[in-house]
A and B are shown apart, each in its own frame.
Chain A
Amino acid sequence: MEHFIQVSNFEKIIPYAKLFGEGFVVTVLLSLLAVMIGFALALVLATLRMSHCYPFLWLARTFPRFFGFLEYTSKGTKRESGFWYRLGRFNPLAFIAATYVEIVRSTPVIVQIFIIYHGVFSLIKLPTGTLFGFIKFHRFLPGVIALGMNSGAYLCEIIRSGIQSVDRGQTEAARSLGLNRSQTFRYVVFPQALKNILPAIANEFVAIIKESAVTYTIGVQDIMSAVNAVRGAAFIVMEPLLVATGLYFCLCFPASKGVAYLEKRMRRGDQR
């Protein structure tokens, strides 16, 4: 290769500028929607993981004559360890949520995207229309859902840790005022948790912007697919890649800085 990067090659990209512009919009929309879906999913998952659903304990309390042994030993004292104790504490909802989170966190995004696109959406036929004239709906939607399901698992852990980081005394104060469990969560714990986890959510958003580049493999026309289009048509690689680098940087850097600023402003009144 004579000249690694040539200024004249950048001129060859100009006809494809529209492609990059559309790719930029697709990447932004894809990431925004994915994080929104992810956040909603994460709320559900975190609720499940922190739920108080103990069917075996319920059995023990509702039919103490038959299932009382789950809660009490033969001597009449409360169980605090052992198999029956653990069975009593078994929470199927939390188990399902934890299983989902661990599977998603332990597999590559590209595998998940392929499973959603080639697997799930080969069974569900999507209309092959376009949004705004350039977003291929039947490729875009599986991409959004796959990324959303992926970030849901990560955001679930972020939300859970945020909730657990709120001081126990806050819950105690709210409960002692007569608020029930869900009011305590809604008015006291969750607003404080949200403030704690805002930077982590922003990081997740930035991570999703970057990870969304993988969706070009299922034909989503994002920034990365514009690079590929130029490469195929004009036989240059480094120049379009540099343009993509610039675009991704312009997205991620201000996003992370912006939320850091927001976080600083919300710090007001943050201590007990």
Chain B
Amino acid sequence: MATSDNLIQVQRLKKHYGQGSVKALDGITVDIRRGDVMVVIGPSGSGKSTFLRSLNLLEEPTSGAIFFNGIDITKHSYVNSAGKTVTLDIDHYRQRMGMVFQHFNLFPHMTVLQNMTLAPRKVRHFPKRAIEQKVRALLERVGLQNKANAYPIQLSGGQKQRVAIVRALCMDPEVMLFDEPTSALDPEMVGEVLDVMKELAREGMTMVVVTHEMGFAREVGNRILFMADGKLLEEGSPSAIFEHPQHPRLRDFLSKVL
């Protein structure tokens, strides 16, 4: 069922609130391939964030399936290659999906270094020495090597978000999920965060990005999803979506944001 280049397969994913009166997600089906940079756009309230947060089960879907490397992570158990039924450990799958939030969600009581080493040390049990080396290399890549011992409150918004990105990268994720990563930033700081994301994309990281940055979507994305009212209305390459939009809702949306 799952082919090797399909990292995540989402099937008929639904998320309802209030006994089905609100349909945040109304049957989303999409395959995310390895190396994809998938950008999800759409008006606010369209279910983009809910879709993204469902991928690592921060939102529990009402129905549907999410296959990660061929295993349905919405179920409580699965049958392994030896034919045995195994309880599904969602924490194991969350480690492989890095997530970046709109409001950064750095841990305020820890330094940048501690923020980044917490999960590798406590979850992966990496030795302190090795992980700190890796963390410093990552910090250097995003130009924050001298901020290792700073507390989040001492950083600007753009710096916080770059730390949040490398914090997720510390776990060597197979896919990075970005939930409006630049929406809470001052305009002059958007560029520095997008640059880090562009570099990640160039290196071949699989990414799912919910954003309002149409320039980023067009330049970096290889697939654009347009969502409205919890439905996936149109999907295509950046040129198809931005130059030749088909769905009237998409045309309407683009005329407002471009």
- Are A177 and B168 closer than 8 Å at their CB atoms? yes
Q: Residues of B contacting A178 with CB < 8 Å? A: 91-92, 94-95, 119, 123, 171
Chain A residues with CB below 8 A from B97, complex form: 176
Interface residue from B99, B108, B167 paired with A269 (Cβ < 8 Å): B108
List chain B residues, Cβ under 8 A from A81: 19
The reply to whether A173 and B91 contact each other, CB–CB distance below 8 Å, is no
Residues of A within 8 A of B (CB): 61, 77-78, 80-81, 167, 169-170, 172-180, 183, 187-188, 191-192, 195, 268-272
Residue A179 contacts which of B105, B122, B164, B168 (CB distance < 8 angstroms)? B122
Mask of B66-107 contacts with A, CB within 8 angstroms, 1/0: 000000000010000000000000011011011101011111
Given contacts A77-B20, A172-B101, A178-B171, contact A183 B108 (CB under 8 A): no
30 pairs, A vs B, C-beta closer than 8 Å: A77-B19, A80-B19, A169-B101, A172-B99, A172-B101, A172-B105, A173-B105, A173-B107, A173-B164, A174-B118, A174-B119, A176-B94, A177-B118, A177-B168, A178-B95, A178-B119, A178-B171, A179-B91, A179-B122, A179-B123, A187-B118, A187-B122, A195-B109, A269-B151, A269-B152, A270-B108, A271-B153, A272-B104, A272-B105, A272-B106
B151 partner residues in chain A, CB cutoff 8 A: 268-269
- Contact present for B58 and A175 (CB under 8 Å): yes
Asked if B222 lies at the interface with its beta carbon under 8 angstroms from chain A, I say: no
Kindly list chain B residues whose C-beta atoms are within 8 Å of the C-beta of A169.
Answer: 101, 103, 105
- Measured between alpha carbons, how far is A77 from B18 in the docked complex, in Å? 12
Q: A192 contacts which of B92, B94, B109, B119 (Cβ < 8 Å)?
A: B109
The CA-CA distance from A272 to B106 in the complex, in Å, is 6
Contact with A along B32-56 (1 / 0, CB 8 A): 0000000000000000000000001
Size category of the binding interface on chain B: 20 to 34
A195 to B168 alpha-carbon distance, docked (Å): 26
B62: Cβ under 8 A from any A Cβ: yes
**Within 8 Å CB of B58, what residues of A?**
172, 175-176
A77 to B23, CA, bound (A): 14
A65 to chain B, nearest CB (A): 16
Q: How far is the CA of A217 from the CA of B249 in the complex (A)?
A: 77
Give bound CA distance, A271 to B105, whole Å: 10
- Residues B107 and A170 in contact, CB atoms below 8 Å apart: yes
Q: A78-B62, A174-B119 provided; 5 other pairs, C-beta below 8 A?
A: A81-B19, A173-B107, A176-B56, A272-B105, A272-B108
Given A77-B19, A77-B20, CB of A270 within 8 Å of CB of B123: no
Chain A residues with Cβ below 8 Å from B123 are 177-179, 183
CB distance from B238 to the nearest CB of A (A): 27
Interchain CB contact (< 8 A) of B95 among A80, A170, A177: A177
Contact B107 A177 (CB under 8 A): no
CB within 8 Å of A: which of B104-153? 104-109, 118-119, 122-123, 151-153
Alpha-carbon distance between A268 and B153 when the two chains are bound, in angstroms: 8
Q: Once the chains bind, are A80 and B152 in contact (CB under 8 Å)?
A: no
Residues of A contacting B18 in the complex (Cβ-Cβ under 8 angstroms): 80
- In angstroms, Cα B122 to Cα A191, docked, is 16
CB-CB under 8 A from A271, the residues of chain B are 108, 152-153
Q: Which of B94, B104, B152 contacts A175 (CB 8 A)?
A: B94
Chain A residues, CB < 8 A from B154: 269
Chain A residues in 8 Å Cβ range of B153: 268-271
CA distance A180 to B99 in the complex (A): 16
Closest Cβ neighbor of B164 among chain A residues: A173
Please tell me if the beta carbons of B171 and A177 are within 8 angstroms of each other in the complex: yes
Question: In the complex the two chains form, is B94's CB within 8 Å of A177's CB?
Answer: yes
Bound-complex Cα distance A170 to B122 (A): 16
Q: Kindly state the separation between the CA atoms of A271 and B152 in the bound complex, as whole angstroms.
A: 8
- Measured CB to CB, the nearest residue on chain B to A175 is B94
Report the Cα distance A165→B99, complex, angstroms: 23
Q: How far is the CA of A201 from the CA of B145 in the complex (A)?
A: 39
A residues within 8 A CB of B76? 61
Which residues of chain A are near B171, meaning CB under 8 Å? 177-178
A272, B101: Cα distance in complex, Å: 12
Residue of A nearest to B151 (CB): A269
Contacts of A176 in B (CB 8 A): 56, 58, 94, 97-99, 168
> Nearest chain-A residue to B104 (Cβ)?
A272
Interface string of B10-26 (1 = CB under 8 A from A): 00000000111000000
